[in-house]
Amino acid sequence: MTDYKRDITIDYSNVMEEAVGPEHGISQGELELLRPRAAEVHKWLAGLKEKGEIGFFKLHEADTTKIKKYAARVRERYENFVVLGIGGSALGASAINGAVGRNFAPLLTKRKRDGYPRLFVADNIDPDNFGQLLSALDPKKTIFNVVSKSGATAETMSQFMVVFGMLEKKLKGKWKKRVVVTTDPAKGVLREIVNEHKLDSFEVPPNVGGRFSVGSAVGLLPLACAGVDVDALLAGSARMAERTRSDDITGNPAYLFSAVMHVADVKKRKPMVVMMPYSSRLYGMADWFAQLWAESLGKRTTRGGSVVHAGQTPIKALGATDQHSQVQLYVEGPFDKIFAFLEVEKFDSELRIPSVFGKRPETSYLAGSTMNELLNIELQGTKYALTIHNRPNLTIKLPEISAHTVGQLVYMLELSTAFSGGLYDVNPFDQPGVEFGKNFAYAMMGKEGYSGLKAEITAKLKDSKRRTVE
């Protein structure tokens, strides 16, 4: 049963030259020129999907029974669910929980949270921050979900080691039921540890990369535990998969998004895309998108090895808040950005502004309206201001914020990212540029086999001239 009225839509009127002029706007002809390339990329993606090389296309077909069963047990017995992960292992759960979970859970009693635990996503190795979080939670009432596909992620493994040490000390032999691991089904050190200690575990399919993994147990387990309807989320993704079967770039919402961004970056010199939800709940989605877009498209070479230094920089902003922070720059600064708004047509709550403070012109125009109206009028105002200042902007409209609409958005942006990889002719599924920093850390932390690199780095750092202001 598909409810088409709940489909998300895209309004791209304001990226076209009719709205923002030929220098900064896109012409119909420029979109048409992309069609042959789009057809090729479409075929390439279809091949990756059919051969099973890339797995995110089909995550919405998976069975969630085991996840929901585990979540039901957690809801009965625990107060807190802590994800230990970083990047793709953390951002998706965090973003979707922000959108459709209980944002103020830490302030609510268990009953007001409908019995669901509070979800925390520990996505950094800041000793102050991580230490404070651990000391604020009762380990007896807490489940720790260690998420790393490879098991080799230094940040996540060091978090796990600290937590393991703490649980062993405080709970003795009983700690094992407090840990659940999400990792590769067969390979890696985390899977070994699961087997050795007989820990609860879930699987990341080998053909699903970290930043495309929110629809797997990586995202679904924490979300189900926090009370998110994961079946509705996947149904949303399935619906978007159904809507994105054609290679028609003006009919397929995912491809349209890619095509617009590509022309903007390559032809109209917009090296930045600002994703700006007008909804605090959707702010995390902009953060999640920023990882997807940056890590997938920011590449030194094409798939054939030509040096291109590709990649549009994603920037997250929040409406209406950033009207009082970034919009001055957006409206008057350089013409180097394109904007993607997330608009919510119907919020869950309606907040009416009461008629107080008497007949003052500065407040009485607000009285009797709702905050909902004010927020959406401000969004229209920002769009209008950008448009008349020749700044291209499009709007992704969500009829409401629900697991279903968010599931649509997730799949749409994942597919857009993959498709954009094709348009730029880069590999959207690897991340060679982060290896260097990893190896640096391995070397300097004294990992086996890295002593040569350590010597090399140390020598180079010693030679370099320091300039400081002290």
In the region spanning residues 385 to 444, those forming contacts with a second copy, defined by CB under 8 A, are 385, 388, 401, 431-434, 436-438, 440-442, 444
Which CB, 224 or 256, lies closer to a second copy? 256
**Which positions from 221 through 250 interact with a second copy, judged by CB under 8 A?**
250
One symbol per residue from 21 to 60: x for binding a second copy (CB under 8 A), - otherwise; what is it?
A: ----------------------------------------
Backbone angle region of 391, left / alpha / beta, with phi > 0 → left and psi within -120 to 50 → alpha = beta
Residue 25 or 55: the one with the smaller Cβ distance to a second copy is 25
Active site residue 435: no
Amino acid (1-letter code) at residue 70: Y
Site for a second copy in 101-140 (CB under 8 A): 103-104, 106-108, 123-133, 136-137
Q: Which stretch binds a second copy (CB under 8 A): 34-42, 58-66, 176-184, 358-366?
A: 358-366
- Burial of 282: CB neighbours in 10 Å, binned 0-12, 13-18, 19+: buried
3-state DSSP of 398-421? EEECCHHHHHHHHHHHHHHHHHHH
Out of 37, 58, 73, 447, point to the residue binding a second copy (CB under 8 A): 447
Minimum gap (Å) between residue 404 Cβ and a second copy: 16
What's the CA gap between 149 and 283, in Å, rounded? 26
Specify whether the CB–CB gap between 181 and 222 falls below 8 A.
no
Pick the binder of a second copy from 27, 158, 207, 427 (CB under 8 A).
Answer: 158
Number of Cβ atoms within 10 Å of the Cβ of 108 = 14
Our CB check for a second copy shows the closer of 51 and 459 to be 459
CB of 422 to a second copy, least distance (A): 17
Give how far the C-alpha of residue 377 lies from the chain's centroid of Cα atoms, to the nearest Å: 27
Q: Is residue 419 exposed (0-12), middle (13-18) or buried (19+ Cβ within 10 Å)?
A: buried
Closest distance to a second copy from the beta carbon of 297 (Å): 7
Stretch that binds a second copy, among 11-19, 38-46, 60-68, 139-147 (CB under 8 A): 11-19
Q: Which is nearer to a second copy, 51 or 466 (CB)?
A: 466
Task: Quote the strand ranges of 195-271, DSSP E.
Answer: 200-203
> Does 372 interact with a second copy (rule: CB under 8 A)?
yes
Burial of 279 (0-12, 13-18, 19+ CB in 10 A): buried
**First and final C-alpha spacing in the chain:** 66
Q: Which of 5, 51, 172, 324 does the annotation list as catalytic?
A: 324
Two tokens, residue 92: 């998706």
Task: State yes or no: is 389 an active-site residue.
Answer: no
Q: Under rule CB under 8 A, which residues in 312-351 are in contact with a second copy?
A: 313, 315, 318, 320-321, 323-337, 347-351
Q: Write down the catalytic residue from 61, 69, 438, 456.
A: 438
319 burial via Cβ count (<10 Å: 0-12, 13-18, 19+)? buried
Q: Please tell me whether residue 195 binds a second copy under the rule CB under 8 A.
A: no
> How many residues touch a second copy (CB under 8 A)?
149
Binders of a second copy in range 257-316 (CB under 8 A): 271-272, 278-281, 290-291, 294-295, 297-300, 309-311, 313, 315
Residue 157: how many other CB atoms lie within 10 Å: 19
Q: Which is nearer to a second copy, 33 or 108 (CB)?
A: 108
Q: How far is the CB of 247 from a second copy (least distance, A)?
A: 14
Of 295, 299, 383, 404, the catalytic one is 295
Residue 72 lies near a second copy (rule: CB under 8 A):
no
- Considering the complex, state which of residue 10 and residue 62 has its C-beta at the smaller distance from a second copy: 10
Q: What are phi and psi of 300, to 5 degrees?
A: -70, -40
438 is catalytic: yes
For tokens 């029974």, what's the residue?
A: 65
Question: CA–CA separation, 113 vs 305, rounded Å?
Answer: 52
**Which residues on neighbouring strands pair with residue 183, listed in sequence order?**
203
Beta bridge partners of 397: 9, 343
Q: Would you please indicate which residues are annotated as catalytic (active-site) residues?
A: 295, 324, 438
